[in-house]
Structure 1
Amino acid sequence: MSKGRVHVVGAGIVGLATAASLVQRGYEVTVIDREGPAAGASQGNAAAIAWTDVAPMASPGLWKQAIKWLADPLGPLTVRPAYALKILPWMLRFLAASNPERVARSTEALVDINSAVLPAWERLWRVSGTHNQVRRDGCLELLDTPASLENARKSWAEQRKHGIAVEELEAGAIRELEPDLSTRAIGGGLVPDWAQVDDPKILCLSLADWLKGQGVDFAVGEVDRLEPHDNGCGLILKSGERIEANRLVIACGAWSKHLAAQLGDRIPLDTERGYNITIPDPAVTVKRFIMLPGHGFVLSPLSTGLRVGGAVEFGGLHLPPNWKRVDAMVAKARLFYPGLKTEGGKRWMGFRPSLPDSLPVISPATHHGGVFYAFGHAHHGLTQAAVTGEMIADMIDGKAHAVDPAPFAADRF
């Protein structure tokens, strides 16, 4: 017997994973998206299941590095001048989240949710038949200066404290793993339990196809307004159409902020714009996920080519892309892979929905029963999607989940 219908706004990976958890619990589900499955950040991310990342972006020592990066307009971190005043309140919250006590709390919450990531994904991969789209070749972090190597060692020590394996490697051992590498790297670390998917867009479309086979309905339309009432919530689309939802999940990433605000939740969500290029024939072999923490980007081998991407640009949802950022990443990538070619590469820019304390909102709405939030995952939307979906389904079911939801509450701000 059906438990009734739940409407999910957002057909990115978090919305799809939430729909998957709900349909398995016996709910009827309708997914509404402004463009359709995998139209936003879920199609262009780096494909990592980065459950081993437990350090929040906000940290006491980050500001020294950030100031250095901000001096380079094409560096790993930049603020577009036209957006500087708008991002200032977010930055001040980020600074407040960087004190040691707040960082310790955020780290504890990340360890808690990320420890549930792989088991949740294993369940979803298995039931949806997408288990063959997963790779387990590990992640190789490369460092090219003594200072960056020393900083990495501190991060690895923190990961080991939480039971995450990291093997430090010398330069020669690194090149045995990645023969096409130059001699640029002086050291690195192998995180063997890291996982990634073949291609995030293909995974999303596969999940969407499976969901359709389970009876999930998909609708294309942009939700413009919410009108909550005693029996649920009215969704007013930009087309003028009205949809009545008894239970509603808002999971539309960077576009979630204004919907939550209409329900009285002023959540300090902003966007970290990320850039990449996916090269079908890069002329070099990259055998596993490569992270370059000193330079703020990654190289990710996909089934569709090599993806070179990353960086953080604060510029909101409306400013045009600055494609010179892709050129800058490619130039740096060639320091490590001199034979890298980019002919036929496809450039992309997307919006990571980010909160100052590096924790998503996975929570009931503060003031309206029957409405739930699942957004703000920043760099870890793909990573945390499956466990987020299970947490939301438990909330709707009125059950407790193994992950403590308190750090992810909408009213924490």
Structure 2
Amino acid sequence: MNQDLTKGRVHIAGAGIVGIAIAANLVQRGYQVTVVDREGPAAGASQGNAAAIAWTDVAPLASPDLWKQAIKWLIDPLGPLTVRPAYALKILPWMLRFLAASNPRKVASSTRALVDLNGTALPAWERLWRVSGTHNQVRRDGCLELFDTAASLAEARAAWAEQRDYGIKVEELGAAAIRDLEPDLSDRVVGGALIPDWAQVDDPKNLCLSLADWLKGQGVDFMVGEIARLVPQDTGCQLVLKDGRRITAERFVIACGAWSKQLAGELGDRIPLDTERGYNITVPEPGVTVKRFIMLPGHGFVMSPLSTGLRVGGAVEFGGLHLPANWKRVDAMVAKAKLFYPDLKTEGGSRWMGYRPSIPDSLPVISPATRHGGIFYAFGHAHHGLTQAAATGELIGDMIENKPPAIDPAPFAADRF
């Protein structure tokens, strides 16, 4: 146990991968740590993501090119991007901010910030995997981006060129070379690229739970309880749980993903956070061999081989936290997946829907609260929560200790909106 009683205790709201990574960093610095979550470790988006350490993905979602494709996608209610009609008015302010974030100047600054953050992501994970003994849950087989039209392949080359400008290895491959790597693919693929330095974990839920078990061994307390409201104090705040319990937190980190907006709002920070609902199915016996992570950008979904089966998932649905799931979206993804893997079987598959906490400029909030000392934010990672978790943990640790962080924190500040 590496806890220094003189450093005091930090309370963290959220036992997903981001909250757990923050706890891991703080316990190594000698803090006592309590993690509060309404269900416990890995109960939300951290259990059902695609398992990628996608540090090479540095393009913000908001971009002029996306809007060209989005208009086509939005016509299809089961396509890669959709807005539930019942949620259209609620998402409108977020969409207007998303549009503003799509101008070339803003895209360039967001990309630079993502390059900086993602550049620290894999090294931060390497340190955490090593110290926690979870390094054996990582795969390094690279990622294949696949395209089924010459036009989409040609458009991808500009993005690959930008990635190379940032020192990211991208190897363009022809259809035959791709099928040598993935023999079960159909002849629909016309080309693509291998990103060799990509990494993924065996199963995101298992990793999260393994880290939580390790943290318990380090003396970290995990408390199940839902925070109803916050009462700010001179330093930190008092947590009022729904069951009536009250907890005094001298230092407090809000890292509860899609549920962070309300807590930040109680502290006076109006963060434009909403949810991109993602769907997937995990098939224990898929009937095909997928050797590495497969990304199909033109269709908005991925195929991820896990220790627990093949996960087919992705797409973006704006529908908030309360509307019921539309499982037809999973059927639509499976139908597309079978175009690329015709022998794919989905019998016995487990369907899932989760809430990606998303901010219009694609940058998470990793920041002190603007009005209250001792309170910090770590949420809004959208598609990159697993990727950026360990790096976020290191940034939050530096902020709590008032040390210069490894990267410029300004792009991730809560007062940027």
TM-score by length of 2: 0.99
Q: Does 1:400 align with 2:404?
A: yes
User: Which string of whole-angstrom CA distances, capped at 9 and with x for unpartnered residues, describes residues 305-352 of structure 1?
Assistant: 000000000000000000000000000000000000001100000000
Partner of residue 293, structure 1? 297
Pairing partner for 2:377 from 349, 365, 373: 373
Q: Distance in 2 between matches of 1:270 and 1:122?
A: 30
Pairing partner for 1:78 from 77, 82, 103: 82
Is the 2:276–2:356 contact (alpha carbons within 8 Å) kept by the matching residues of 1? yes
SS of the aligned residue for 1:268 comes to coil
Partner of residue 248, structure 1? 252
User: Which string of whole-angstrom CA distances, capped at 9 and with x for unpartnered residues, describes residues 90-121 of structure 1?
Assistant: 00000000000000000000000111011100
Q: After TM superposition, list the pairs within 5 Å mapping 1:255-266 onto structure 2.
A: 255-266=259-270
Partner of residue 306, structure 1? 310
SS of the aligned residue for 2:205 comes to helix
CA shift for structure 1 position 146 = 1.5
Is the 2:235–2:373 contact (alpha carbons within 8 Å) kept by the matching residues of 1? no
Q: Does 1:211 align with 2:215?
A: yes
CA shift for structure 1 position 132 = 0.2
Pairing partner for 1:284 from 285, 288, 293: 288
Pairing partner for 2:58 from 54, 61, 69: 54
Partner of residue 187, structure 2? 183
Q: Distance in 2 between matches of 1:259 and 1:172?
A: 52
Q: Does 1:350 align with 2:354?
A: yes
Q: Distance in 2 between matches of 1:362 and 1:28?
A: 21
Q: Distance in 2 between matches of 1:232 and 1:88?
A: 33
SS of the aligned residue for 1:256 comes to helix
| AA in 2 matched with 1:148 | S
| AA in 1 matched with 2:245 | E
Q: Distance in 1 between matches of 2:185 and 2:142?
A: 17
Q: Distance in 2 between matches of 1:150 and 1:21?
A: 42
| AA in 1 matched with 2:131 | V
SS of the aligned residue for 1:36 comes to coil
Query: Which segments of 5 or more consecutive residues in structure 2 lack a partner in the other structure?
Result: none
User: Which string of whole-angstrom CA distances, capped at 9 and with x for unpartnered residues, describes residues 56-113 of structure 1?
Assistant: 0001111110000000000000000000000000000000000000000000000001
Is the 2:51–2:304 contact (alpha carbons within 8 Å) kept by the matching residues of 1? yes
Q: Distance in 2 between matches of 1:224 and 1:403?
A: 34
SS of the aligned residue for 1:227 comes to strand
CA shift for structure 1 position 231 = 3.7
SS of the aligned residue for 1:184 comes to coil
Q: Distance in 2 between matches of 1:216 and 1:79?
A: 40
Partner of residue 101, structure 2? 97
Pairing partner for 1:329 from 328, 333, 336: 333
| AA in 1 matched with 2:71 | I
Q: Does 1:142 align with 2:146?
A: yes
SS of the aligned residue for 1:64 comes to helix
Pairing partner for 1:12 from 16, 40, 44: 16
Q: Distance in 2 between matches of 1:398 and 1:61?
A: 39
Partner of residue 178, structure 2? 174
Is the 2:251–2:375 contact (alpha carbons within 8 Å) kept by the matching residues of 1? yes
Is the 2:174–2:191 contact (alpha carbons within 8 Å) kept by the matching residues of 1? yes
Query: Which segments of 5 or more consecutive residues in structure 1 lack a partner in the other structure?
Result: none
Q: Does 1:41 align with 2:82?
A: no
Pairing partner for 1:111 from 97, 108, 115: 115
Moved >4 Å (runs of 4+): none
Give me the CA root mean square deviation: 0.5
Pairing partner for 1:23 from 16, 23, 27: 27
| AA in 1 matched with 2:150 | P
| AA in 1 matched with 2:264 | A
SS of the aligned residue for 1:61 comes to helix
| AA in 2 matched with 1:181 | L
Q: Distance in 2 between matches of 1:147 and 1:322?
A: 31
CA shift for structure 1 position 232 = 2.3
| AA in 2 matched with 1:381 | G
User: Which string of whole-angstrom CA distances, capped at 9 and with x for unpartnered residues, describes residues 163-194 of structure 1?
Assistant: 00000000000000000000000000000000
Q: Distance in 2 between matches of 1:231 and 1:25?
A: 20
| AA in 1 matched with 2:42 | A
Moved more, 214-223 or 145-154: 145-154
Q: Distance in 1 between matches of 2:300 and 2:65?
A: 16
Q: Distance in 2 between matches of 1:397 and 1:161?
A: 34
Q: Distance in 2 between matches of 1:259 and 1:14?
A: 16
Number of residue-to-residue matches in the alignment: 413
| AA in 2 matched with 1:246 | E
Q: Distance in 1 between matches of 2:155 and 2:329?
A: 25
Q: Does 1:412 align with 2:394?
A: no
SS of the aligned residue for 2:407 comes to coil
Q: Distance in 2 between matches of 1:38 and 1:394?
A: 25
Q: Distance in 1 between matches of 2:154 and 2:83?
A: 27
